[in-house]
Amino acid sequence: MVTEFETGRVLMEKGKDLPMKPASMAKIMTSYVVFSRIKDASLALEDQIIVSEKAWKMGGSRSLLTPGTRYSVKELLYGVIVQSGNDAAVALAEGLAGTEENFAQEMNLTAKKLGMENTNFTNATGWPDPDLVTTAKDLNILATALIRDFPPEQYPDLYPIFKVKTYTLNDIKQGNRNPLLYGKSAAENGVDGLKTGYTEESGYGLTASAVKNGMRVVMVLNGMSSKKERSSESARLMEFIMREYKNYKFFASGDRVDEADVWLGR
């Protein structure tokens, strides 16, 4: 599903309401919840969180955190967003809500408020779970809300994390998995986020956003068969959208367009 950010107009869609697994794209909601806490000043980027045994033992993509060690919220956010660290996501969830289960409840409450009608989160990472489900439409709603509610010019330390290409934590450097941040797509189409996902069940997915010539688009793709297909298809679609669509502003709200005499009128 591809939409224009300002108007919400759907530019492209196929199976937007079909249930699917978000995999690590669920971390966009984890980030949204953390961003919300920072916005309402109940959390700061400098706050410290201790990594639990559970977080440390997480499989899949990891930030390779050390158990029992304190990390700042900022370090963990970079771990989640740039490195896609499951351990960092669980550490944030436990730090904010006590348990990952409690945090998942907060994710679901937030999803309802945003109008994500066909989504259920069961964890902070997107780790496979039979009850974990979303749709392309709902992920598009989420990504749009994250950019809208935490505009980069107002919160320069939050959304811009999504376009950081590499991050080093514990002396281990890892690269951002978003293929559109590299090469032609980033340079010509202004790609600045968001998040990839992969599990065997979900296939390869990507939620991305780009801004060019004053028009921002939000794109969600999932179910591709390989990293190569994800990279080529997402680049092809983004280039097509940016080439074929443009916003035309005819009048601003309140502009006087014309005047006409009305018979017997005032």
Catalytic residues: 24, 27, 84
Closest CA to 196 of 42, 27, 38: 27
3 sits in the region (left: phi over 0; alpha: psi -120 to 50; else beta) called beta
The number of beta carbons lying within 10 Å of the beta carbon of residue 191 is: 29
Q: 248 Cβ partners below 8 Å, 6+ apart?
A: none
Positive/negative CA dihedral, 223, 23, 200, 202: negative
Positive/negative CA dihedral, 20, 24, 25, 26: positive
Classified as helix, coil or strand, 73 is: helix
